[in-house]
């Protein structure tokens, strides 16, 4: 089972945000947020969850070694006893995911509902998404559900390539990954690119 994002199907209902806050380990805080892709021209939104990078930049820049990755590739929120709330992870993440909660001096982010997914349950966000912009299925199920889409988990930021555990769905035929900086030079916003709108 894997998490797949299809931002083109997001309807901005915020069900994922409310469900995320109900996850037992989050203590009422949502670890997911919605971004407007290009607010002046469209109401289109895109869910922002942790992409769970193979080599997480957030963990690499953490001076307190507070961010850990599980053996199965899930990048955890910062450990409370180690986090110094410096914000390095916020600045370093290419996807804009981590958030430092100053009132509790702790970085928190999507951890793929690890308390649920580690025992075979769906993440809260995917369990309530009415448009299936967030899908937690096997690759075989995905092929049946989205025959005209393919998952991409490779993103290019200039000369840096970031491989992720979570995949974004794009139209079939684009298997080179999402080249973020090349499209930014053409006038696209980063949010729009990561929503897959300029891919193809």
Q: CATH code at 102?
A: 3.30.70.20
- Per-residue pLDDT tens for 116-132? 988 989 999 999 999 99
- pLDDT bin (cut points 50, 70, 90) of residue 179 is low
- Is residue 80 a part of any domain in this protein? yes
Q: What is the SS3 assignment for 181?
A: helix
Q: What is the SS3 assignment for 160?
A: strand
Query: Residue 105, by phi and psi: left (phi above 0), alpha (psi -120 to 50) or beta?
Result: left
Q: Residue 57 is inside which H or E element, if any?
A: helix 57-60
Q: What is the SS3 assignment for 46?
A: strand
Range of the structural domain that residue 111 is part of = 2-194
Number of domains in the chain: 1
Task: Give the long-range contacts of residues 177-182, CB within 8 A, separation 24 or more.
Answer: 177/152, 178/152, 178/154, 180/94, 180/155, 180/156, 181/156, 181/157, 182/156
- Is residue 200 a part of any domain in this protein? no
Exposed (0-12), middle (13-18) or buried (19+): which is 185, by Cβ within 10 Å?
A: exposed
Instruction: Give the integer Cα–Cα distance in Å for 85 and 189.
Output: 28
Q: How far apart are the first and last CA of the chain?
A: 26
pLDDT score of 172 more than 70? yes
- pLDDT bin (cut points 50, 70, 90) of residue 197 is very low
- pLDDT bin (cut points 50, 70, 90) of residue 88 is very high
pLDDT score of 42 more than 50? yes
- Is residue 171 a part of any domain in this protein? yes
- Is residue 163 a part of any domain in this protein? yes
- Is residue 176 a part of any domain in this protein? yes
Instruction: Indicate the pTM of the whole model.
Output: 0.83
Asked if 88 and 63 count as a contact pair (C-beta separation under 8 A), the reply is yes
pLDDT for position 182: 47
- Is residue 199 a part of any domain in this protein? no
- Is residue 130 a part of any domain in this protein? yes
């Amino acid at each position: 089972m894997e998490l797949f994002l299809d931002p083109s199907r997001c309807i901005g209902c915020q069900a994922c945000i409310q469900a995320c806050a109900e996850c037992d380990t989050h203590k009422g805080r949502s670890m997911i947020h919605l971004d407007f892709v290009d607010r002046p021209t469209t109401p289109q939104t895109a869910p922002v969850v942790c992409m769970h990078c193979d080599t997480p930049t957030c963990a690499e820049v953490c001076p307190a070694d507070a961010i850990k990755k599980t053996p199965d590739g899930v990048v955890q929120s910062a450990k409370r006893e180690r986090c110094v709330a410096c914000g390095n992870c916020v600045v370093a993440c290419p996807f804009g995911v981590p958030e430092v909660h100053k009132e509790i001096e702790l970085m928190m982010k999507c951890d793929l509902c690890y308390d649920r997914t580690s025992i075979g349950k769906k993440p809260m966000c995917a369990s309530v998404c009415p448009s299936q912009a967030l899908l937690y299925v096997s690759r075989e199920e995905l092929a049946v559900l989205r025959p005209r889409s393919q998952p991409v988990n490779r993103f290019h930021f200039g000369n840096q390539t970031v491989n992720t555990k979570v995949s974004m769905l794009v139209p079939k035929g684009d298997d080179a990954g999402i080249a973020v900086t090349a499209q930014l030079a053409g006038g696209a916003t980063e949010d729009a690119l990561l929503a897959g709108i300029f891919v193809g």
